[in-house]
Amino acid sequence: QVISDLNSLMNNASGNYALGANVNASGVTIAAGNDYCGGLRCNLGLFTGNIDGLGHTIDSFTSNVNNTYSAGLFSNIAGDLTFRNIGLTNRSTTSGIHSLGGFVGRIYSGTLNIINSFSSGTISGPGSGGFVGKVEGSSTTLIIKDSVNHINISKNSGNRTDGAGGFVGSNT
């Protein structure tokens, strides 16, 4: 399976999804969309569904996001959702404006549960986190349980004050 197959499955933003096999995304780069985001559902609105990886991985997912405000497997999410039993391997994102995460660029509201999941690769840019780039809003909650981050995080220079962290880049 290729990552573009996953994108076609995301027509229902609030659906429940499962990975039936490992996904090899090498050679597929998600470029920044019209909404200054880089990830699945970038130009289709906020993702509000749930994903169970069933122990599978998405390998070599790359975002090309030089002038992007949020990038991750999903650029922007909202609502109460869960990512479980999923691994991101060889994840790569560099040089966005802010909010760069392995799984999610930015959470706008609600509760995100990341359970029994892991990430590895490299993310470089302001507001970079191994799982989430930015948690935004006082009513937004992130719960990480039984999960591991192995992404190398670095905050490149620039005029942004957003931080960088192992799980979350910044929280406002």
pLDDT in tens, 6-47: 655 566 777 788 888 898 888 766 655 555 556 666 656 678
The mean pLDDT of 42-57, rounded to a whole number, is 82
Give 88's DSSP letter: E
Q: Percentage of the chain with pLDDT > 70?
A: 73
- Of the ranges 3-17, 49-63, 82-96, 98-112, which one carries the lowest mean pLDDT score? 3-17
Residue 86 has, within 13 A of its CA and on its CB side, a CA count of 23
* Stated pTM of the model: 0.85
pLDDT of residue 2: 45
76, 77, 83, 86 alpha-carbon torsion, rounded to 10°:
-10
> How far is 124 from 4, CA to CA, in rounded Å?
24
Our measurement of the distance from residue 152's CA atom to the centroid of its chain's CA atoms, rounded to an integer in Å, reads 15
- Residue 149's nearest CA partner among 122, 128, 120, 170 is 120
Three-state secondary-structure class, residue 114: strand
Q: What stretches of 26-80 adopt beta strand conformation (E)? A: 29-31, 37-40, 50-52, 57-59, 62-64, 70-77
Tokens at 93, concatenated: 């994102």
Tokens at 80, concatenated: 């109460």
Residue with tokens 């994108």: 7
